[in-house]
A and B are shown apart, each in its own frame.
Chain A
Amino acid sequence: EDKVVQSPLSLVVHEGDTVTLNCSYEVTNFRSLLWYKQEKKAPTFLFMLTSSGIEKKSGRLSSILDKKELSSILNITATQTGDSAIYLCAVELGTSYGKLTFGQGTILTVHP
């Protein structure tokens, strides 16, 4: 069975800290890995990583895909209270159009 596991499950830091969130996967026929941020409502898209794009960066956020280790990390530098959210990792399979298998999420809390 395809599996996506995130760690840690929760994390509490102070503003200005740097955090690293982990996502590992065991799937057949990997196609892409996506990171989403979920605050109160809709998950919002952060990054999509594929074999042809294994590193992405946007402002203080960056993500790397390690296809050899079957994992990805999401880094957030100089954290702010607005970064507090659930961070979701999802993997799409090559054999199933659009089907995302999600991890259980990491709850990040940033204190002032």
Chain B
Amino acid sequence: DTAVSQTPKYLVTQMGNDKSIKCEQNLGHDTMYWYKQDSKKFLKIMFSYNNKELIINETVPNRFSPKSPDKAHLNLHINSLELGDSAVYFCASSQDRTEPQHFGDGTRLSIL
């Protein structure tokens, strides 16, 4: 059983398009996160939701908008995609601060 699942695994699209990435966790965790991993493998947090409430909102372009319909789901919508958005996007979840974050397998986004 996949604990943190993301869809799609790969996303190839053109500049200017709008796309969404979905994330679901079946661990019963209260907190979910979005990370971006660039070509140098550097992982950087973007957003975090705790029980559907936004608690971390790093300095990312406002073209990126997270949405959490319930505590098991955290989706990422990106408007007007740019070349620099090409990266692997990871979703993660955790129960609380005493427990580690569990990561999904990532979504590789390629902008043509």
Hey, which bits of chain A sit against chain B, CB under 8 A?
31-32, 34, 36, 38, 41-45, 48, 86, 88, 90, 92, 96-102, 104-105, 107
Give the complex CA separation of A81 and B40 in angstroms. Answer: 23
Question: Residue of B at shortest CB range from A104?
Answer: B42
* Option from A38, A98, A104, A107 in Cβ contact (under 8 Å) with B101: A98
A97 x B106 contact (CB < 8 A):
no
Give the complex CA separation of A44 and B102 in angstroms. Answer: 7
Q: A90-B43, A97-B31 known; 16 other A-B pairs, CB under 8 Å?
A: A34-B100, A38-B41, A41-B106, A42-B90, A42-B106, A44-B103, A45-B100, A88-B43, A97-B55, A97-B56, A97-B97, A98-B48, A98-B94, A98-B97, A99-B56, A100-B43
Indicate if B45 sits at the interface (CB-CB under 8 A). Answer: yes
Find chain A residues with CB under 8 A from B103 CB. Answer: 36, 42-44
Find chain A residues with CB under 8 A from B100 CB. Answer: 34, 45, 48
Find chain B residues with CB under 8 A from A44 CB. Answer: 103
B40 x A104 contact (CB < 8 A):
yes
Indicate if B85 sits at the interface (CB-CB under 8 A). Answer: no
Give the complex CA separation of A92 and B48 in angstroms. Answer: 14
B45 x A104 contact (CB < 8 A):
no
B43 x A98 contact (CB < 8 A):
no
Find chain A residues with CB under 8 A from B56 CB. Answer: 96-99
Question: Residue of B at shortest CB range from A42?
Answer: B103
Q: Which 5 A-B pairs have the closest CB atoms?
A: A41-B105, A42-B103, A45-B100, A102-B43, A42-B105
Find chain A residues with CB under 8 A from B104 CB. Answer: 42
Q: Least Cβ distance of B46 to chain A in Å?
A: 11
Find chain B residues with CB under 8 A from A97 CB. Answer: 31, 48, 50, 55-56, 97
Q: Which of B80-112 contact A (CB under 8 A)?
A: 90, 94, 97, 100-106
